[in-house]
Amino acid sequence: ENVPAASSQQEIDHVNITSYSEYVLDCAEESLVEGNLSEVYGDSGKVMTVLNKDNPIKVGDIIQVAGQEIEVVCGISSGLYPGEYSIICSQETFARLTGEENYSMIGIQLSSKATDETVKQINSLVGSDVIFTDERQRNQEDANSWLAAKFLLYSFMVIVAMITLFNIVNSISMSVTARIKQYGAMRAVGMDGEQLTRMIAAEAFTYAVSGLIVGSGIGIVLSRFLYVKLVTRYFGSQWSLPVVLIAIIVVFDTVSAAAAVYAPAKRIRNMPITATINEL
């Protein structure tokens, strides 16, 4: 921590250096936001950083550490440690910059059946030069918070989906009821039940498709705006088009429109033509 450094950015006067093993570098690919991670491997003098609002270091910066120049070639959204003034490098580059070779972190993942006695036994194996920490409680709290957030968000999405379904069904039903006399007149001059159903379906899918286009257009713009302001700014993750969610919305909208056609079409087909014409 707090290793003296120099950069073209005047506010960077120190850095916090972390080394990743090749396995951890491979895992970092999942959180890559910008740049080329492959350049960080080996004794390359290339490093990466954690992109967030608290870290002034950006991709492309040249930083001098211990009289040596290193280049920031990529950025990730999260790291093992806080991202302020953070540079992350390979173990070979770390050893060249700091001269330290005997400092490392070992993570032990326990099964759900592990007891406190197991943790005590592991703790008893470490020496005085090892710092031992039990992260189980914090990890459980993080997992519970994440599950609670997912439950609230998906509950809200279900409510919005149900409102959408009822709105489409109700709109089609009200539209058919308002024009019941016109449908009766068309039946009187020879329109059969299948043609009537297709006519109501055309109206329903016109509502569905036009609503889908307008709603998705506004929703995508709003989604990107909020993501950049609330996620990218604080955590570095970049927005991407939610193709899977859009596909789910299209399928749901189509099914809702099809369901909205069934009841009004069946009601009109089952009504006598004379009753349909005389309907107020």
**CA 35 to CA 8: how far, in whole Å?**
20
**CA 276 to CA 185: how far, in whole Å?**
8
The answer to whether residue 33 scores a pLDDT higher than 90 is: no
What lies within 8 Å, CB to CB, of 150 at 6+ separation is: none
What's the whole-number average pLDDT of the chain? 84
Q: Coil, strand or helix: which one is 49?
A: strand
Give 133-179 pLDDT, tens digit per residue.
Answer: 888 888 888 889 889 988 998 899 889 888 888 888 888 888 877 77
Residue scoring higher pLDDT (24 or 260):
24
The answer to whether residue 275 scores a pLDDT higher than 70 is: no
Tokens 């379904």: give the residue.
165
Give 225-241 pLDDT, tens digit per residue.
Answer: 988 887 777 666 778 88
Contact 51, 1 (CB under 8 A): no
pLDDT at site 280: 43
Using alpha carbons, list the distances in angstroms from residue 178 to 172, 175, 202. 10, 5, 16
Q: Is 238 exposed, middle or buried (0-12, 13-18, 19+ CB in 10 A)?
A: middle
Give 121-137 pLDDT, tens digit per residue.
Answer: 888 888 888 888 888 88
Supply the pTM of this predicted model. Answer: 0.59
pLDDT at site 48: 93
Residue scoring higher pLDDT (187 or 45):
45
**CA 23 to CA 81: how far, in whole Å?**
17
Give 52-65 pLDDT, tens digit per residue.
Answer: 888 888 888 899 99
